[in-house]
Amino acid sequence: MAIVSERGKMHNPVTDSGGVFLGRIKEIGPRHPKRDKVNVGDKVVSLTSLSFTPLKIESIESIDLQRDRVNVKGYAILFARSPFAVVPPDLPESVVMAVLDVAGAAPQAARYTKLGDYVVVLGANGKSGLLVMHEAKKRVGPTGKVIAVVRREEAAKFVRESGLADEVVIADAKDAIDLYQKIYNVTNGRLADLTINCVNTPDTEMGSILVTRDGGKVYFFSMATSFQRAALQAEGVAKNVELIIGNGYYPDHDIITLEILNENKFLRDYFLKKYS
């Protein structure tokens, strides 16, 4: 509440992000471009970070650590260009909120993945990592590979059971040399054509860069990334890689991401079990 009171937004001082909100429409501006498509009272999820959304919290009603959710009384303001999605009737609102919190990740993975690519996903057992692997797996084909990186054996077992990865590597993404050696071994020295960083902690930039081949791409979806550090480190180790800032917006990304739950029973069951 102190952060919102001081800044007028929910700006997480650790990750520089703020999550999304779920609420009901109280009022629609007379010139809003979606005025004819939504109604007062509709339940919506914001698709822009709360670090960018004017917000007023009147009180905190409860905190749900299991679902990463804070229930509050208050209001927010969405501008004409602020993306949002109406909650569909066939899914619990908590599931919709959890999925759309990372809605930009999977469409961007689809955008940058090509047939035959080796795709390394850091933080593969998180929400964004799982959705990213689904889209990457659809596109790499039989000659490509999706390689999941997780920190613990428990997470590795979960990812193996999902069937979303061809290889699962247990490594700390902060330990760049160890990560590089493990990815080098599992790819027989080829390294990644595309690395997608979904890790919500800092200091993983160098590991992402080292495991990517010269001429490859590194997509930083995590807002914990220091883009200044990433640029300087790529230069420092003479890596000719394209560094891509994670843009959480992609046209129709809410529709694309929710459709994944219809395509993949494992992911649908997972999100329903964890967030319902």
pLDDT given at position 247? 84
Cα-flanking dihedrals φ and ψ of residue 113, to 5°?
A: -90, 135
State residue 68's pLDDT score. 81
Residue 82 has a pLDDT of 92
Strand order, beta sheet including 145-150: 167-170, 145-150, 118-122, 192-197, 212-220, 242-245
Integer Cα distance of 53 and 95 in angstroms: 22
Range(s) of the chain covered by CATH 3.40.50.720? 105-245
d(CA 257, CA 39): 23
Find the helix packing angle between 265-275 and 127-140, rounded to 10°. 180
pLDDT of residue 101: 86
| pLDDT per residue of the chain (276 residues) written in tens, 0 to 9 | 999 999 999 988 877 778 889 999 999 999 999 999 999 999 999 998 899 899 999 999 999 988 788 999 999 999 999 999 999 888 998 899 889 989 999 999 999 999 999 999 999 999 999 999 999 999 999 999 999 999 999 999 999 999 999 999 999 999 999 999 999 999 999 999 999 999 988 999 999 999 999 999 999 998 788 999 999 999 999 999 999 998 888 889 999 999 999 999 999 999 999 988
H helices of 121-186, where?
A: 127-140, 153-162, 176-186
Q: Using an 8 Å Cβ cutoff, are 60 and 71 in contact?
A: yes
The pLDDT value given to residue 69? 87
Residue with tokens 């959480």: 248
Sheet containing 22-24, strands listed edge to edge, beginning at the edge strand earlier in sequence: 22-24, 43-46, 84-86
Distance (Å, whole) CA 218 – CA 210 = 10
Does 105-245 carry CATH code 3.90.400.10? Answer: no
Find out whether 35 and 76 touch, Cβ atoms under 8 Å.
no
Report field, pTM of the whole predicted structure over 0.85:
yes
249-272 burial, b for 16+ CB within 10 Å, e for fewer?
ebeebbebbbebbeebeebbebbe
Count the alpha carbons within 13 Å of 225 in the hemisphere toward its beta carbon.
28
